[in-house]
Chain A
């Protein structure tokens, strides 16, 4: 599976950060879908299941923690890895508490973001094999 076949969904209520993440992920050729509206996450899951979700924590509408919890409880989505990407200073604790698959603190290094994404997608693929 090449990177273009790998779909990454990003939810963040800051449009600029969303643009930046999309640009960075596209440098490695991933297919990126984004939303600024936290409420749209579930509707999007029904149309098209991604291979990875990058989730902001503090968003207007639904909080990233709640989204994570609901996705992990749903049979259709619980296998999708979730990375919290947030400036929240308790990101480590939140990741543990909500059983997310990892975290990327903001502000982030482009290289670090890409490495985390690569690693988690590889891990997911390894599991499938």
Chain B
């Protein structure tokens, strides 16, 4: 190689270096003037960005570090600047975002909207809108866009702040989901409650039906039992009465009298059967009352006549006030009078009087049956109308009966809006009475 050639080569090299130096000086000057923010070094497959530290470094860091995405675009919609938050948001490296068209990240359905927004923004109007961005791998990101114009050295650009609404949307969705779940739960609860209510109602109805069936069965049993008990009593009583009739006709008074006594016992048996049935009917509210208007004294006389036939050991006397019309069950009120007279006979010694009186007092008629019997101790008087209650004393023998007669009488009089009571002195006798309203 000649010296000349070597010299020329060196000269060229110097020129080249001079030119590079001049270019470097220009860059340094530009940097000094703050005209350069960053270098982009083009490599084979990707660009490398070198950001320069300068006076606005604080703001740069601030923008870089803020969680919102920030970009600037020019009139052609090319992204000139982009912070790393935006690049992260759309899941794309920064180098690939800068220089791209913004449109690339806008899904078709939002293109029109965004175009209009940008148009407005270029007219220096601040715009905001919620849209969905389309990131790398087609990920959808709900965002809020805030667009405004920005005057920089190169001219007017648009700055766009992008707030990620994913979390908010997720929260909203979660809230909606929770609300929906709550609603579903409420619907399920309601349906469960309804079901439960229905089940309870059905079960209650079933129980009531079962109870009713059981009651009906019990009633039916009592009705049948009473019928079956009365049937043989009917034929016994019938035969006795025919026999008695025949003996009387033949003049056999002794035999007739004996049969008369049998007949009285049969009547007691009949009363016991009826009382048991009545008590069951009172308990189940099935005691039927056949109400009618009737002449009171007529009924009282009828009963006195009937009971008088049986009470052969006592003298029955009566003193009736002016008659009255009473509205009620004639048979059942008659049953009460019979019960009072029967009791008087049962609890008083032979050859004493039984006195029956009626008193018309205002709107009420009172009937009283007095005897000269054993009387009832004061302590026992309040219980006398209780079911199954029987008067007992130290000296007395046990008296027959189930303790139902007065209880049934009490229920019958109560049902007729009447009063029932007793005045009694031990050893001297008792007066049983009841009052009934007079019907006009």
Contact = CB atoms under 8 A, between A and B. Distances in A.
B242 A107 contact: no
Contact of A89 (B238, B241, B277): B277
B277 A21 contact: no
Given A90-B288, A92-B290, A93-B288, A107 B226 contact: no
Interface in B196-247: 223, 226-227, 230-239, 241-242, 245
Interface in A106-123: 106-110
Q: How large is the interface on A (under 10, 10 to 19, 20 to 34, 35 or more residues)?
A: 20 to 34
Contacts of B290: 92-93, 96
A21 B290 CA distance: 28
Interface residues of B, number: 23
Interface in B266-323: 266, 270, 277, 281, 288, 290
A87 B227 contact: yes
Contacts of B242: 20, 23-24, 27, 110
Contact of A106 (B223, B234, B241, B245): B234
Contact of B245 (A58, A87, A110): A110
Contacts of B235: 14, 16-17, 19-20
A88 interface: yes
Question: Which secondary structure characterizes the binding site on chain B?
Answer: helix
A96 B242 CA distance: 30
B288 A106 contact: no
Which of A17, A21, A93, A96 has the most chain B CB atoms inside 10 A of its CB? Answer: A17
B238 A24 contact: yes
B239 A20 contact: yes
Contacts of A58: 227
Contacts of B233: 106-107
A14 B231 contact: yes
B245 A107 contact: no
Given A89-B223, A107-B270, A17 B230 contact: no
Interface of A: 14, 16-17, 19-21, 23-24, 27, 58, 87-90, 92-93, 96, 106-110
